[in-house]
């Protein structure tokens, strides 16, 4: 889902807010009998795995296999309540199977908080369940040499970029998100209070990023990259910014960087680029591969809508090559691929003509491959005006699929348009189903509770967040827990790299680091490594979600609009790359 997934400023900003939350909070995959169930349309040809809690695995096919406490039972799959993408009405049909199912997800071990806790030793000073870090823990053997930039005998220089929210406020955008700078400060200060890492204290630097800078070669953006890489002289940069920034830091300046990137960026960085998600172009490839395999495109008249934004250069072309051309190569007849012009970040002038073009072509399945929520809102309004009512499948390019962006869409489009689009069927495909917590809020893990309690005690802002169904509170809670786990992961990698701390040593340590901490007790992880890097940069799974407006899950929720898994329990489909 992204050759360019974090592009538009607003979308990029909101995505970064969600990235931190997703690192730690995730959601529940527990099946609750009271929760309504919806299934993605025309998905009968997909073999998938549903994960419910820590002990239940179901493989779509002729039978359901459930493992609990070592005992395995087999039973026929029952009925599934399905929401029609065209009418919005619910019908009940028997689960369909295929004679030649796709590769089952059972080939990918589903790691959960329970399985990790029972299979992984926690011997390091940053791996304990009951302590964020072990005070006064001894260093690993060896002399503390200082062979790398940003490393002395008693210190490690790290730099974190952050969004200049004042720049957003100046154009009328205010974000109700957690304070990421403060979260980082609290947990790195705690690392230092425990004695640092192998006897070295961490010096944390911050560099502001202007989210309204037009591109990475502009004066302000280039200055931010230079400040992060050259002025602060770090060993490592935590970026999570747009693609050109990551390339500037990891490729042009050869700094170990945690930031999104394309396959070319990962290759050209020679091991310096890491991220918590896959390479952008592989995600779009994954979307195309999964949508074909799942059968949602079968028998549909397909239109794909994108925009010609300037940042990054070649945005529309990347959508063409990594998504549209992949669909065509797999035999999909794309009736219309339309690219609307943009002036800066405003891409609304071509909306009436584009909608008319899609309608005239008889498109009944429209794929959003580049419209941010601020462009999708007037586009959907025009769809309603012209009586154009296809099912919408959203790839989340230009901002990502999340409740924050859904609320932004509602605020921009209004209730009538939101009702129109959700009523027509607004689906999203991502690496995992969204909003799984709405099907039953999972228990927070001991490390998640420890992280949140520690932040509440140590922050000077007075902030305190709760693990609750409220999407704003849960998002902020997730940002704290995700930030906490992120700091622990980096501390683990730095510690494992040894006292002779070098760039090659840290790159090897980060590449080998396995997932150890999860935020709740049911979110599955289908790859053992913490970061995507090198050639391991493709998403292993996909899941489908659907927008509910008004948001009706869980019962009594006050949230206005929300993403909900399209299946209950949530389904994770393994992507079979050709």
Residue 280: pLDDT band (50, 70, 90) is: confident
442: which 2 tokens? 């999972």
Positions of E strands within 77-125: 79-83, 90-94
Residue 354: pLDDT band (50, 70, 90) is: very high
Neighbouring C-alpha atoms within 13 Å toward the C-beta of 494: 28
Q: Is the peptide bond before 83 cis (omega within 30 degrees of 0)?
A: no
Please determine, for residue 46, whether its predicted confidence score (pLDDT) is greater than 80: no
* CA–CA gap between residue 53 and residue 119 (Å, rounded): 17
User: Which residue reads 């969204």 in tokens?
Assistant: 434
Please give the pLDDT value at position 450. 97
Neighbouring C-alpha atoms within 13 Å toward the C-beta of 439: 30
Q: Domain 114-278+441-533, what architecture?
A: 3-Layer(aba) Sandwich (3.40)
What percentage of the chain exceeds 90 in pLDDT? 54
Among residues 12, 27, 6, 7, the alpha carbon closest in space to that of 564 is found at: 27
Evaluate whether 10 touches 173 at the Cβ level (below 8 Å): yes
Please give the pLDDT value at position 255. 96
For the chain, helix (H) and strand (E) counts, in that order, are 17, 20
Evaluate whether 397 touches 1 at the Cβ level (below 8 Å): yes
Left (φ > 0), alpha (ψ -120 to 50) or beta: where does 61 sit? left
* CA–CA gap between residue 178 and residue 549 (Å, rounded): 25
CB crowding 214-229: b at 16 or more within 10 Å, else e: eebeeeebbebbeebb
453: which 2 tokens? 């309690």
Burial of 203 (0-12, 13-18, 19+ CB in 10 A): middle
| Degrees to nearest 5, angle at CA 301 with 296 and 304 | 85
Neighbouring C-alpha atoms within 13 Å toward the C-beta of 443: 9
What is the three-class DSSP state of 185?
Answer: helix
Report, as an integer, the average pLDDT of 460-471: 90
* CA–CA gap between residue 368 and residue 371 (Å, rounded): 6
Tell me, rounded to whole angstroms, the distance of Cα 519 from its chain centroid.
15
DSSP bridge partners of 545: 428, 565
244 vs 568: which has the higher pLDDT: 568
Give residue limits of the domains in the chain. Answer: 114-278+441-533
Please determine, for residue 98, whether its predicted confidence score (pLDDT) is greater than 70: no
Report, as an integer, the average pLDDT of 557-561: 82
Evaluate whether 289 touches 431 at the Cβ level (below 8 Å): no
Please give the pLDDT value at position 430. 92
Mean pLDDT of the chain: 80
The H or E element that residue 495 is part of is helix 471-496
Evaluate whether 490 touches 156 at the Cβ level (below 8 Å): no
* CA–CA gap between residue 337 and residue 329 (Å, rounded): 15
pLDDT tens track for 222-278 = 788 899 999 999 999 998 667 678 889 999 999 999 998 889 999 999 999 999 999
* CA–CA gap between residue 335 and residue 153 (Å, rounded): 62
80: which 2 tokens? 């599934």
Evaluate whether 242 touches 398 at the Cβ level (below 8 Å): no
Residue 78: pLDDT band (50, 70, 90) is: very low
pLDDT tens track for 152-203 = 999 999 999 988 888 777 877 777 888 999 999 999 999 999 999 999 999 9
Please determine, for residue 97, whether its predicted confidence score (pLDDT) is greater than 60: no
* CA–CA gap between residue 160 and residue 530 (Å, rounded): 18
The region of weakest confidence among 101-110, 114-123, 208-217 is 101-110
Phi then psi for residue 418, to 5 deg, are: -65, -40
* CA–CA gap between residue 84 and residue 385 (Å, rounded): 22
């Amino acid at each position: 889902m992204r050759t360019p997934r974090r592009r538009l400023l607003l979308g990029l900003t909101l995505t970064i807010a969600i990235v931190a939350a997703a690192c730690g909070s995730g959601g529940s995959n527990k099946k609750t009998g009271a929760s309504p169930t919806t299934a993605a349309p025309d998905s009968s040809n997909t073999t998938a795995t549903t994960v419910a809690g820590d002990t239940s695995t179901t493989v779509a096919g002729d039978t359901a296999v459930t493992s609990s406490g070592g005992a395995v039972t087999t039973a026929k799959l029952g009925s599934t309540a399905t929401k029609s993408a065209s009418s919005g009405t619910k019908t009940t049909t028997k689960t369909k199977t295929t004679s030649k199912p796709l590769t089952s997800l059972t080939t990918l071990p589903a790691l959960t908080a329970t399985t990790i806790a029972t299979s992984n030793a926690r011997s390091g000073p940053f791996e304990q369940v009951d302590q964020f870090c072990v005070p006064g823990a001894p260093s690993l053997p060896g002399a503390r040499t200082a062979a790398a930039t940003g490393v002395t005998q008693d210190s490690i220089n790290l730099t974190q970029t952050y969004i200049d929210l004042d720049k957003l406020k100046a154009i009328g955008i205010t974000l109700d998100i957690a304070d990421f700078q403060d979260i980082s400060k609290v947990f790195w200060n705690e690392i230092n209070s425990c004695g640092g890492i192998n006897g070295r204290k961490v010096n944390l630097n911050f560099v502001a990023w202007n989210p309204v800078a037009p591109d990475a070669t502009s004066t302000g953006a280039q200055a931010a990259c230079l400040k992060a890489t050259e002025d602060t002289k770090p060993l490592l940069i935590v970026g999570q910014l747009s693609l050109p920034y990551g390339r500037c830091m990891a490729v042009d300046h050869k700094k170990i960087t945690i930031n999104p990137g394309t396959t070319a960026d990962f290759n050209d960085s020679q091991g310096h680029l890491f991220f918590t998600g896959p390479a952008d172009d592989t995600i779009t490839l994954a979307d195309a591969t999964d949508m074909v395999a799942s059968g949602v495109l079968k028998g549909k008249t397909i239109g794909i809508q994108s925009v010609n934004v300037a940042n990054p250069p070649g945005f529309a072309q990347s959508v063409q090559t990594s998504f549209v051309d992949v669909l065509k190569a797999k035999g999909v007849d794309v009736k219309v691929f339309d690219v609307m012009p943009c002036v800066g970040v405003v891409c609304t002038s071509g909306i009436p003509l584009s909608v008319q073009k899609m309608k005239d072509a008889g498109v009944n399945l429209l794929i959003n491959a580049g419209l941010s929520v601020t462009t999708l809102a007037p586009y959907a309004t025009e769809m309603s005006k012209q009586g154009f009512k296809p099912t919408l499948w959203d790839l989340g390019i230009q901002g990502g699929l999340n409740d924050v962006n859904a609320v932004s869409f509602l605020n921009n489009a209004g209730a009538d348009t939101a009702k129109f689009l959700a009523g027509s069927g607004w689906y999203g495909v991502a690496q995992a189903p969204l909003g799984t917590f709405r099907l039953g809020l999972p228990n927070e893990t001991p490390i998640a509770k420890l992280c949140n309690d520690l932040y509440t005690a140590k922050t000077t802002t007075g902030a305190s967040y709760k693990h609750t169904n409220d999407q704003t509170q849960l998002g902020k809670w997730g940002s704290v827990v995700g930030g906490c786990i992120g700091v622990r992961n980096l501390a683990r990698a730095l510690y494992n790299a040894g006292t002779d701390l070098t760039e090659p040593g840290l790159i090897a340590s980060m590449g080998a680091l396995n997932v150890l901490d999860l935020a709740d007790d049911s979110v599955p992880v289908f790859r053992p490594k913490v970061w995507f890097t090198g050639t391991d940069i493709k998403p292993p799974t996909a899941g489908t979600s659907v927008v509910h407006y008004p948001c009706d899950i869980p019962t009594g929720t006050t949230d206005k609009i929300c993403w909900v898994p399209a299946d209950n329990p949530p389904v994770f489909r393994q992507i079979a790359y050709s």
